[in-house]
Amino acid sequence: MAYTEIKKQGGSAYYYRVKSVRKGEKVAKKRVYLGKNLSLKERKAKELKADLQLLFLGNLLRKEEINEIESLKKRYSHEPKENFENRYESFCAFFTYDSNAIEGNTLTLRETADLLFENIVPNAKTLREVNETINHKAAFDYMLKYKGNITGSFICRLHEIVIKNTLREEIANQQGRYRNVQVYIRGVKEIPPPPGKVPNEMKSLLSWHTRNGRKLHPFVVACYFHIAFELIHPFVDGNGRVGRLLMNSILHKSGYPMVNIPNARKREYYEALHEAQVNGKIRDFVLLISDILKKQNVLF
């Protein structure tokens, strides 16, 4: 387990992230310098990045937990092609309903399915909610067909599709591009990075994915990418929906079934996400997503 070490010198405090590494009978320590005289907020953000350098994520899952995930992958790979369309429609309806409901959309699961696959527009729902539903399926379909690597342009295109015709007029020009204004997350004290830092933060995350995408277990990669993406909050709106699409894109490209986070478990999801971002409890978040996947009725 990694921990933070503080060395005081000349009235200043120097922070290091430390991990003990066993080599035969000896135990050595790997250190990553975090910085000098850091605030708690600065320290937590740097600790998260340092844990990656210390390969903390490489030891995140126990062997039996990996075996459970691999068993799900095997089950998924044996799903018959004959019911592909049926599974697609079922998962797409659930995923669209739940991902939108987490963000406050009031369409029911039945209304969502009828709109997406029968073109039946529900009564007494706002145009924004209808557009959010149609957009999510379009983004999901785009993600399924996309064969390239995860890039900034791919992420911005997903965002452009997800929030089409849903933004207020004064921020409509933010569609499909990193935000140029500060955003705040309701119910959370921590503030996402200022807009000027977003491009570099996203570049850093994408670089991490390029370097580690094949070194770490794909399930861990998908979960960590989601945690870091939501911490950056690169868009004015739609970050949650885009982030869950990206998590599933990583799983899908690696041959794993995609995960649908139920609206009924929204509170657990938000709390685990917050604990991972603020207190570095990444393992708890990964185990939550794994538990959700294990209890999922449709593997797609």
| 7 assigned to some structural domain | yes
On whether both 174 and 267 belong to a single domain, the answer is yes
Q: Of 9-23, 118-132, 218-232, 239-253, which range is least confident?
A: 9-23
**Per-residue model confidence (pLDDT) at position 42:** 84
Average pLDDT over residues 247-259: 98
Dihedral of the alpha carbons of 118, 122, 125, 130, in degrees to the nearest 10? 10
Query: Has residue 45 been placed in a domain?
Result: no
Of 136, 217, 233, 274, the active-site residue reads 233
Same domain, 134 and 1: no
Per-residue pLDDT tens for 89-101? 999 999 999 999 9
195-246 pLDDT, tens digit each: 999 999 999 999 999 988 888 999 999 999 999 999 999 999 999 999 999 9
Q: Which of 112-116, 123-127, 210-214, 288-292 has the lowest mean pLDDT?
A: 210-214
- pLDDT higher than 80, residue 68: yes
Same domain membership, residue 196 and residue 289: yes
- Please give the C-alpha separations between residue 290 and each of 55, 126, 223, in angstroms, as whole numbers: 21, 34, 10
19/123 same-domain check: no
Instruction: Check: CB of residue 103 under 8 Å from CB of residue 242.
Output: no
Asked, for residue 67, whether it belongs to a domain, the answer is yes
| pLDDT top residue among 188 and 192 | 192
pLDDT value at 27 more than 70: no
Task: Kindly state whether residues 83 and 112 are assigned to the same domain.
Answer: yes
What domain range includes position 29? Answer: 1-40
Number of domains in the chain: 2
Instruction: Determine, yes or no, domain membership for 50.
Output: no
pTM of the entire structure?
0.84
pLDDT confidence band for 292 (50 / 70 / 90) = very high
Which residues touch 94 (CB under 8 Å, ≥6 apart)? 109, 260, 298
Asked whether residue 103 is assigned to any structural domain, the reply reads yes
On whether both 130 and 34 belong to a single domain, the answer is: no
CA atoms within 13 A on the CB side of 40: 5
Between these two residues, 11 and 29, which has the higher pLDDT value? 11
Indicate whether 30 and 78 sit together in one domain. Answer: no
Among 31-45, 155-169, 185-199, 267-281, the minimum mean pLDDT is found in 31-45
Q: Verify whether residue 233 is a known catalytic residue.
A: yes
Tell me: do 33 and 69 sit in the same domain: no
Same domain, 216 and 84: yes
220 and 72 in one domain? yes
Q: Is residue 48 part of a domain?
A: no
Alpha helices by DSSP H, 11-121: 40-53, 63-77, 84-102, 109-118
**Residue 137 predicted with pLDDT over 80:** yes
Does the residue 281 lie in any domain?
yes
Same domain, 88 and 171: yes
Predicted local distance difference test score (pLDDT) of residue 57: 77
Answer yes or no: is 46 within a domain.
no
| Residues 221, 76 share a domain | yes
Mean pLDDT of the chain: 92
CATH number at residue 180: 1.10.3290.10
